[in-house]
Each structure stands twice: as C-alpha cells, then as structure tokens.
A and B are shown apart, each in its own frame.
Chain A
C-alpha cells in the first residue's frame, strides 16, 4: 500500500480508537472514520465498529485491491472531553484545514493527554453528585453530609481498586460494598437518618450513565450488535453494584 494510504489508515483508526475507548457511540465512530477517509480522497470506504473493535477498509486507486485493517479496543472509559476533541480534529480534517501529519500529531496529543480534571476534583464531584441525589430521592438535608462522604469513599475505592484488579466488575462490586457499608456505618454512628437514601446517594456515582445512553442510541441507529454488547456491559455493571450493596446489607444490617 502507498505511504499516504498507510498514514491515513493509521490516523483514521487512531481517531476511532480514542473515540470508542472514551465513550462515543459506535455510529459516531463509523461516521467520523468514513468522512475522514473520504476527505483524504479514498473511495469505497467501509467501516464496521463494534463495542470492542474497529474494522476499516478502502480503495486507494480504482483497479487496485482494497486495503483493510482493524484495531482492537480493550479498555472502555468515560472521558467525553477526548471524544469532543477528536470530533473537532475530524471536523477540521474533513474541511481541509489540517494535513494528515497535523491531524496525526493532534490525535497523538489527545491520546497522551491526562484526564482534564484532577483526581481529587473527580472524587469531590462524586461526593457532590451522590449527596445531591440522596436529597432528591427523599433524604433530608441532615443526610447530605454523610451521603457526600459515603459517595466520595465509593469513588476513591473504585479508582484505587481498579489499579490492582484486572476484572472491572470485581472492582465495581468492591466499590459498591465500600460505599454502602460506609453509609451504614455513618447512620450507626448517628450521622444521618435515612439509611436507604444515603446508600442510594453513595452508589449514584457508580451508575453506568454513559454506556446506557450509548446503548440506546446505538440500537436506534441500527447498530444492533454494538448496542446489545454495550447494553450488556451496562447491565453487568448494574448487577455488580447491586450485588455489592446486597453483600453490605446482608452482612451489616
């Protein structure tokens, strides 16, 4: 294959890989890649994306055989900022404002970039979110503080344990267990009254909001395979959370 085709293939797949890893819907990944390849002047562009991998094929010149490559996506995280930035790069590339080399450099920067918020702010955000939801679901203002700390502990547990365990769902069970047992402990110490609402609040930051929304969107746009697999992922996460809480409740209550 020609040098340019090779480069464009790499750039397209790298863009798709970042988007898929950090929580974009598969239809968006396919659309982005197809547009970028077409903007680079290739024909017969086909892209097939599932939740765990991307296939891309296109024709460099009429009469020559088609080129095809794939990448495998193992990790799936949630960083909507990276999705947005890749979207911006592809927009500029498609409209001809970026060359292939520039696009590659930008994508490499996005790929390497750390998450935009510091980790303490993420834990703090988890606390605020959990406490807010415990209030909205019927907890009193007196429960706001314990729910805040329980949610923060759950978030810290998730991040810390994920570093050691290879199985994602195990760390979710552990985080849910830590969150709900600390909620139970707070109530037993006399901080907070509504134990149910505090537990719910502590678990809200673990809820798989992004996969769930994307699963719906994928199913609707006809990506049945990707939608089903992402839906199953969200379901498994919910089940892990449920079993973590069930464990804590049956041990401590």
Chain B
C-alpha cells in the first residue's frame, strides 16, 4: 500500500522534473512511468535483500535499457528518457547528510556518508554503462585491442 502511494508520488515528481528540463510534451508521461519503474525496481531489489549499491545498479540498468529501447522506437535522443529514469536514484538525502555532518564538524560521519554517496553515484553510472554497452553492441566504442576485422 505504501509502495503504491510512493509510486504515484514518484510519477508526479518525475513529471515535475520533466517540466523543469523541458522534456518534449509527447514523452513527458513516458518519462514519469520510467521514473516510477525505477523506484519500483529499487524498492523490490531492496526487499529481496541485496545491498543499496547493487539495488541502485539494477534499477539504473533496467531504467536505462527501457529508455534506450523506447528512444529508438520513438526516434528521440535517449537522454530525454534516461534522465527521468535515473532521477529517483540520485542520492540527494545522502549528499545532504554528508554536508550536514561536515558543517557540524562530525568529520568521520561525513566521510562515511560521503563514501556511500560516491558509491551510489557510481552505481547509477554503472547501470547506465551496462545499458549503453547493450545498445551499442557491435559498434565497438572504445576498443582496446584491434580484434575487429576493419
């Protein structure tokens, strides 16, 4: 029950963000749905019992995959959908508590929160990378060895 309320609130919050970033009108609702999916994936993964970081990676990966797929279908830049998709993961509260701890002179607590914030941001990036590599399969962006046949 709580989850359903959270999903509805996420949906509207992401639409609000979509308006701030001026996401095109025809995909505004889709962006909201992807955001709601991200929150659902994050909560479900946490429920199953994986750690925060892994849950973030899972949620970010699935959201970015959906965003890339739909962007290709609707012929719009993938950023338009992947930004609403990853917004629910942004570690805003962790970043705030990090800063609060430093302001109050609790340096150890601040460092702890800071490391977790960085890791969570890294998790979002990891999810994006995985989805990107899935969709640029065969294009060979950033190869280290010349194994291709060109």
**Residues of chain A at the chain B interface (Cβ within 8 Å):** 23-25, 28, 78-85, 87-88, 91, 115-117, 121-122, 124-133, 135-138, 155, 196-197, 199-200, 203-205, 207, 209-210, 213-214, 216-217, 220-222, 238, 242, 245-246, 249-250
Supply 23 A–B pairs (Cβ within 8 Å), ascending by A: A28-B77, A81-B22, A83-B80, A84-B80, A115-B22, A132-B10, A132-B13, A135-B9, A136-B10, A155-B20, A204-B90, A205-B17, A213-B86, A214-B79, A216-B129, A220-B132, A220-B141, A220-B142, A222-B141, A238-B95, A242-B99, A246-B99, A249-B100
Q: Is the CB of A128 within 8 A of B142?
A: no
In the complex the two chains form, is B16's CB within 8 Å of A125's CB?
yes
- Size category of the B interface is 35 or more
Tell me which residues across on chain A come within 8 A of B79, comparing CB atoms.
23-25, 28, 80, 83, 210, 213-214, 217
- Majority-rule SS of A interface residues: helix
Q: Chain B residues near A23 (CB, 8 Å)?
A: 21, 79
Question: In whole Å, how far is A144's beta carbon from the nearest beta carbon of chain B?
Answer: 8
9 additional contacts (CB under 8 A) given A28-B77, A125-B18, A137-B93: A24-B79, A79-B21, A80-B22, A80-B83, A84-B80, A127-B16, A135-B6, A217-B128, A246-B102
Interface residues of B in 118-139 (CB under 8 A from A): 124-125, 128-129, 132
How far, in Å, is A197 (CB) from chain B's closest CB? Answer: 7
Measured CB to CB, the closest approach of chain B to A26, in angstroms, equals 12
Instruction: Take A136-B10, A136-B39, A220-B129 as given contacts and tell me if A78 and B22 are in contact as well, using a CB distance cutoff of 8 Å.
Output: yes
A213 to B76, CA, bound (A): 16
**CB-defined interface of B14-38 with A at 8 Å, one 1/0 digit per residue?**
1111111111110000000000000
Instruction: Give chain B nearest CB distance to A20 CB in angstroms.
Output: 13
Contact (A250, B103) CB under 8 Å given A81-B22, A217-B79: yes
A117→B18 CA distance, assembly (Å): 10
How close is B107's CB to chain A, nearest CB, in angstroms? 14
Residue positions of B touching A, CB distance < 8 A = 6, 9-10, 12-25, 39, 75-77, 79-80, 82-83, 86-88, 90, 92-93, 95-97, 99-100, 102-103, 124-125, 128-129, 132, 141-142
B77, A132: Cβ atoms under 8 Å? no
Distance (whole angstroms) from the CB of B16 to the closest CB of chain A: 3
Q: In whole angstroms, how far apart are the Cα atoms of A136 and B18 in the complex?
A: 17
> CA separation between A68 and B18, bound complex, in Å?
37
Interface contact A78-B128, CB-CB below 8 Å: no
Q: Which of A24, A84, A127, A204 has the most CB of B within 10 A?
A: A84
Q: Interface of chain B, helix or strand or loop or mixed?
A: helix
How far is the CB of B20 from the nearest CB of chain A, in Å? 5
Query: Does B129 contact A80, Cβ atoms closer than 8 Å?
Result: no
From B121, which residue of chain A is reached at the shortest CB distance?
A212
Could you say which of A129, A135, A214, A250 has the most chain B C-beta atoms within 10 Å of its C-beta? A129
Docked Cα-Cα span, A204 to B9, in Å, equals: 14
Which one, A88, A116, A138, A238, contacts B25 given CB within 8 A? A116
Q: Is the CB of A87 within 8 A of B76?
A: yes
- Say which residue of B21, B39, B76, B125 sits within 8 Å of A210 (CB atoms): B21
Are A245's CB and B96's CB within 8 A? Answer: yes
